Amino acid sequence: MYLDPAIRDWVLFPIMIVMVLVGVLRHHATQLMSSMPKSDLKGVRETQALMRGRLLRSLGAFDIPYPAFQARKQYLTTQFATTNYIKSPNQTGPPNPMADPAGMEMMMEGMKKNMVMLVPQTVIMSWITFFFSGFVLIKLPFPLTVRFKAMLQRGVETFDMDVTWVSSLSWYFLNLFGLKSIYTLILGEDNAADGTKDMAQMQMNPMQQPQQDMSKIFQSEKEFLDLADHQSVLVGVEERLLAKYGRTIGG
């Protein structure tokens, strides 16, 4: 089979260039539509309290003296037994994500990103299907098995064509999932041009994620702190230092 060079100039390259430009526009549109996350003081206080308890149980707490460790342990266990650090102390049962402003804002951000991804991809696919349906654009330089035929020759219903030929619609999907390196080169590592990440996020419904009962988490952390023991690394540090250099106290 022989391909007309005009197909390369007027179909192959234009599809790739359009998809790159749409990815760049999607990146900038996502940045414009994204809002700064609002800090929830009670939520931050709740998270930081749990982090303080875990740090006190870690090996890093062995650097503080034993009285300081006991004072911190007594304070945190007393506070964790109450509802002082819980964001919603009067809540019974799992929290309702629809009543949480932070959860609703996260859902709106996800909907914005999905809209920015779906609308351009729908337009591009309709454009390719309408103008370039049935076009064969390129031949891959390496052999493939017959199982790749359905993936590489979408829109071309032939059984005798070699599997290495790629149709226009398959070229669109190859660009959709294969332009990540180009976007990274143009926009940097953290970019929103790659639509595959948004497609993966669409499969995850935040309404179906399990909600945590913070009262049980604080109670569990209190029990861990009650069992925590302290062995200060400062005990006998003078003797260890002198023994390292072959000296003794008073010698």
Region 234-246: mean pLDDT is 80
Answer whether residue 181 shows pLDDT above 70.
yes
Higher pLDDT, 45 or 202: 45
CB 231 within 8 A of CB 65: no
Answer whether residue 214 shows pLDDT above 90.
no
Q: Of 24, 30, 13, 31, whose CA–CA distance to 186 is shortest?
A: 24
b/e map of 151-182 (b: 16 or more CB within 10 Å)?
ebbbbbeeeeeebbbbbbbbbbebbbeebbeb
- Secondary structure of 68-91 in HEC code, one letter for each residue: HHHHHHHHHHHHHCCCCCCCCCCC
Answer whether residue 105 shows pLDDT above 60.
yes
Q: Say which range, 59-68, 136-145, 169-178, has the weakest mean pLDDT.
A: 59-68
Region 103-107: mean pLDDT is 72
- Measure the N-to-C terminal CA separation of the chain; round to a whole number of Å: 94
User: Residue 21: what pLDDT?
Assistant: 93
The model's pLDDT over 15-60, given as tens digits with 9 standing for 90+, comes to 999 999 999 998 888 888 877 766 678 878 888 999 998 888 887 6
The model's pLDDT over 203-212, given as tens digits with 9 standing for 90+, comes to 555 444 556 7
